[in-house]
Structure 1
Amino acid sequence: MSDPNPQDAATPDELKTSETDEQRADGTVEREVADEPSTGGQRVAELEAAVADLRDRLLRSHAEMENLRRRTEREVVDAKRYAVSSFARDLLGVADNLRRALDAAAAATPGAEASEAVADPVFAALVEGVELTERELGKGLEKHGVRKLDPKGKPFDPHHHEAVFEAPDPSVPAGTVVQVMQDGYVIGDRILRPAMVAVARGGPKADAAPEAPGLDRTV
Structure 2
Amino acid sequence: MNADSNTSKNPDPRDAATQPGPGAPSPEAAAGETAPASEPPAEPVSLDDDRVAQLEGEVAGLKDQLLRAVAETENVRRRGEREREETSRYAVARFAKELVGVADNLQRALTAVPAEARAADEALNNLMVGVEATERQLASAFDKFGVKKLDSLGKAFDPNFHQVVMEVEATGKAAGTVVQVLQEGYVIHDRLLREAMVAVAKQGDGQGHVDTTA
Is TM > 0.5 for Structure 1 vs Structure 2? yes
The residue identity in structure 2 corresponding to 1:133 is T
TM-score by length of 1: 0.69
- Aligned partner letter, 1:42: D
- CA drift of 1:119 comes to 1.8
Larger radius of gyration: 2
CA contact (8 A) 1:178 1:200 kept: yes
> Structure 1 stretches of 5 or more lacking a match?
1-32, 110-115, 213-219
Query: d(CA) in 1 for partners of 2:177 and 2:75?
Result: 44
| SS at 2:120 equivalent | coil
Q: Within 5 Å, give how 1:183-202 maps onto structure 2.
A: 183-202=184-203
Runs of 4+ residues deviating >6 angstroms: none
Look up the equivalent residue of 2:78 and give its one-letter code. R
Q: Is residue 150 of structure 1 aligned with residue 151 of structure 2?
A: yes
Give the distance between the partners of 2:118 and 2:203, measured in 1 at CA.
36
The number of residue pairs the alignment matches comes to 165
Amino-acid identity (%): 54
Q: Counterpart of 1:72?
A: 80
Hey, what does 1:83 align to over in structure 2? 91
Q: Quick one: distance in 1 between partners of 2:90 and 2:179?
A: 31
Q: Distance in 1 between matches of 2:91 and 2:170?
A: 41
- Secondary structure, counterpart of 2:48 in structure 1: helix
Distance, in Å, in 1 between the alignment partners of 2:185 and 2:52 is 70
Match of 1:59 in 2: 67
Contact 1:105 1:118 in 2 (8 A): no
For residues 26-83 of structure 1, give each alpha carbon's deviation from its aligned partner in whole angstroms, at most 9, with x where no partner exists: xxxxxxx9xx85x533222211111000011111111111111111111111000000
| Partner Cα separation in structure 2 for residue 118 and residue 185 of structure 1 | 33
What is the CA–CA distance in structure 1 between the aligned matches of 2:165 and 2:173, rounded to whole Å?
18
Please give the per-residue CA displacement for 1:88-129, whole angstroms capped at 9, x wherever unaligned: 0111111111011001013x65xxxxxx84421111010011
- C-alpha distance in 2 between matches for 1:202 and 1:147: 30
